[in-house]
Amino acid sequence: MAFDIEMIKAVYDRMPARIAAARALTGKPLTLTEKILYSHLWEGTASAAYARGASYVDFAPDRVAMQDATAQMALLQFMQAGRPQVAVPSTVHCDHLIEAKVASTTDLKVAVDKNKEVYDFLSSVSDKYGIGFWKPGAGIIHQVVLENYAFPGGMMIGTDSHTVNAGGLGMIAIGVGGADACDVMAGLAWELKFPKLIGVKLTGKLNGWTSPKDVILKVAGILTVKGGTGAVVEYFGEGATSMSCTGKGTICNMGAEIGATTSTFGYDASMARYLESTGRADVAALANGVKEHLTADPEVYAHPEKYFDQVIEIDLDTLEPYLNGPFTPDLATPISKMKEMAEKNGWPTKIEVGLIGSCTNSSYEDIARAASLAKQVAAKGLKTKAQFTITPGSELVRYTIERDGFISTFDSIGATVFSNACGPCIGQWARPGAEKGEKNTIVHSFNRNFAKRADGNPNTFAFVASPEMVTALAIAGDLTFNPLTDTLTNEKGEQVKLDAPTGDELPKLGFAAEDAGYQAPAADGSGVQVKVSATSDRLQLLDPFSAWEGSDLKGLKLLIKAKGKCTTDHISMAGPWLKYRGHLDNISNNMLIGAVNFYNEKTDNVKNALTGEYGPVPATQRAYKAAGVGTIVVGDTNYGEGSSREHAAMEPRHLGVRAVLVKSFARIHETNLKKQGMLALTFANEADYDKIQEDDSINIVGLGSFAPEKSLTIELVHADGSTDSFAVNHTYNEQQIEWFKAGGALNIIRASVK
């Protein structure tokens, strides 16, 4: 039986009437996305139709999911909210703090010992507040959620940008910061601007070497890393229904890389099969009872151009496998063009490591297809040229693939199986030699490939591909190898060709696990004590941020003018810094150390206006804070792209940055800044970015009449006494302005229980 079956039943019971009301209000057929959103309104049945890309709307999500790195800050905030228990089903998943170094058993044992204080905190706070706890080794949050909690037509938020993975089971699942999760766990409404809609029509059927991963790799090439911002991507068509549920999850997972709010698919037979295979036949039966409401109205898919803001069509019959990268997940190259592109750009073509698995591609089907290629190494007399690693997504998958012989197949080609955790995908990879900074190439089936992300080496060229393509390339050891057309020389000197991969969608013998890793919360958590040592360097109780002083911000100094791509990895790095995710002051020592300073093209090197000297960004900002001087951060386009990590907003807030002014924001980061009481501003004219000089004194004027859709003014006083001024925009609504005035949304929640 599924978790929270009564909650799921209640969602389905109210869905038909709410959808009918929304259809009447809008006066048109509804997309799946609209059906789910309108059936999860905080007010209940809709009383108005909402404008896409314009209306801020309050929603009531069904559940919250948190991974261990972000859960620490989310739950430290929730502890201040004054609630005795979470208001909606919530879970914590310990997946981010396990470093991949030797092999699964060894690495897990080291992590459990090294992170004991954090795991004990998360376990006890989960016990106290009624939160399900998934222990270290249980698996990656998104895979575990898909296996246990996701359900068609549901709405979930999670403190990780790849929460969107659950769209593979027909959910609207959205990545958020911990403050948003805190709101929902506290029983409050969750606010989102009603999204625009992008429809992706999939015709034909995947075949041969092509996989679901190639669909999203192609879409990323079309939309780029910001083309989906403010939109939900809804996939449909014969190509969608012919695809496995976990394949759909892969596509939705990587939708985070195009900036999409989330992605989703309509309910179909593949989802029913997956629910039944993972022990949730009861959910499948309930979904079958309301299946007409778990997909778009027929008119929508018949004439998508009338109902979506943008429509993309992809023919799966002719789709090629893709390799995306390096350094960005939207540089899409079909495998047939890789040799040409590598030569043109000077990319290293020798592949050092191939890595498969992670939350994006660790399903039974993924592993089975990769194993079918690994079997050919011995059968065809080959030898694997690159190192090869597997990161299972969950203990359920790991145990099952071991039972079915896949792990022994991988062992036969010298592969390393890492723990059921994020590992290399988020920089938790102790890769030997990475510290040398040598230029090299890796291929992986993960979702992101920003510089330094996997191993900390800025000269590692990382390319994203399907697990089967990664396996083939690791066997060949050559980035330019095209398994569709090329042959390999085996140990006998013969030319052999790899057969196309094959694999079952679901295990014939069913899934199995001796211990999936779940720990239920205490029946009564009122007596549970959550202790945080005052001397801990891993955990730190939070102090409220100060409220706005009620006046314009004058005499701000420029902390950094960031040039080019500035993701949350640049603002708050992961890797070794993950250990401080529960200690705001300690982790603030990584603030913006990866951002490139416009004025000297260096990272972690900015001018201190008080001394005239250059130094690290965090130390410079601490000097400003100690002197009582406010600062501003200036950035380029799509600032804050990437992870949902709210530390990228909390660190500048904690250290005294007052505003972030950029050409454009990634959605989650902009929201996180607002939640923490920061000013998130955009240039009305992007060319004004060039007016800001290194030694400027900066004023933000107009805050006394701060109001929705009303511009503010930036005044620059240059070092030579000359001045400039220009308008800046914002997207704050009335409620968000109150967050700013109060010093953060949490201060308002805290005040409401006093």
Residues classed as catalytic: 95-96, 160, 448, 643, 645
- Sheet containing strand 231-236, edge to edge, reads 262-265, 231-236, 196-203, 310-315
3-state secondary structure (DSSP) of residue 698:
strand
Distance CA 277, CA 508 (A): 9
Distance CA 26, CA 21 (A): 9
Write the DSSP string, 314-377: EETTTPPPEEE-SSSTT-EEEGGGHHHHHHHHT---BEEEEEEETTTB-SHHHHHHHHHHHHHH
Distance CA 195, CA 310 (A): 12
Distance CA 213, CA 324 (A): 11
Distance CA 40, CA 18 (A): 9
Distance CA 463, CA 327 (A): 8
Distance CA 490, CA 474 (A): 14
Measured in residues, the chain has a length of 754
Pairing type for strands 440-444 and 416-417 reads unpaired
The neighbour count for residue 177, using CB atoms within 10 Å, is 28
Do residues 304 and 32 lie in contact, with contact meaning Cβ atoms separated by under 8 Å?
Answer: no
Distance CA 213, CA 335 (A): 13
Do residues 683 and 662 lie in contact, with contact meaning Cβ atoms separated by under 8 Å?
Answer: yes
What are the tokens at 546?
């100060």
Distance CA 192, CA 323 (A): 33
Collect all residues with Cβ–Cβ distance below 8 Å to 285 and sequence separation of at least 6. Answer: none
Nearest Cα neighbor of 167 from 146, 138, 148 is 146
Residue 295 corresponds to which amino acid? T
Residue 333's Cβ-side half-sphere holds a number of Cα atoms within 13 Å equal to 23
DSSP 544: P
What are the tokens at 345?
């750009």
Distance CA 144, CA 2 (A): 13
Nearest Cα neighbor of 426 from 451, 446, 454 is 454
Distance CA 490, CA 496 (A): 7
Q: What are phi and psi of 134, to 5 degrees?
A: -105, 115
Burial of 122 (0-12, 13-18, 19+ CB in 10 A): buried
Do residues 689 and 634 lie in contact, with contact meaning Cβ atoms separated by under 8 Å?
Answer: yes
Nearest Cα neighbor of 33 from 47, 13, 53 is 53
Instruction: Quickly list H helices, 591-657.
Output: 617-626, 647-655
Rounded (10°) CA dihedral 293, 296, 300, 302:
-100
